[in-house]
């Protein structure tokens, strides 16, 4: 099972300021137990050769991550995510 490394201080602060602390804990647990869970919408981002992925925190926010070593995940950014309709 994958394990998400501790977040950088700036990401922790961003999550706190956006009121996402509880949601973050829930999706972190869900991802670490089932990274392909449908509610996470985990995807490989373009360009695919860069191997940068994302999963949904909620409809508005996504966690951008890379895989570091065997089953280690580093969150590199938390971003707002809007879908064009």
Between the alpha carbon of residue 48 and those of residues 19, 27, 45, 52, the distances in Å are 31, 24, 6, 7
pLDDT of residue 69: 85
Residue found by looking up tokens 């602390």 in the block:
21
Q: What is the CATH number of the domain that holds 60?
A: 3.30.2310.20
Instruction: Kindly give the interhelix angle for 9-17 and 21-33, rounded to the nearest 10 degrees.
Output: 120
Q: Is residue 25 part of a domain?
A: yes
Helix (H, G, I), strand (E, B) or coil at 81: coil
Residue 10 structural domain: 3-80
How many structural domains is the chain composed of? 1
Extract the residue ranges of the chain whose pLDDT is less than 50.
Answer: 85
Q: Is residue 16 part of a domain?
A: yes
Q: Is residue 24 part of a domain?
A: yes
Q: Is residue 10 part of a domain?
A: yes
How far apart are alpha carbons 85 and 73 in whole angstroms? 31
pLDDT of residue 47: 95
Q: Is residue 85 part of a domain?
A: no
pLDDT of residue 8: 97
How far apart are alpha carbons 85 and 69 in whole angstroms? 37
pLDDT of residue 81: 76
How far apart are alpha carbons 16 and 22 in whole angstroms? 9
pLDDT of residue 39: 96
């Amino acid at each position: 099972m994958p394990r998400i490394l501790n977040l950088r201080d700036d990401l922790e602060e961003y999550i706190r300021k956006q009121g996402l602390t509880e949601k973050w804990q829930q999706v972190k647990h869900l991802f670490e137990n089932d990274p392909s869970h449908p509610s996470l919408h985990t995807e490989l981002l373009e360009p695919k050769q860069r191997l940068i992925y994302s999963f949904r925190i909620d409809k508005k926010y996504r966690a951008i991550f890379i895989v570091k070593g065997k089953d280690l995940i580093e969150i590199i950014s938390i971003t707002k995510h809007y879908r064009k309709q």
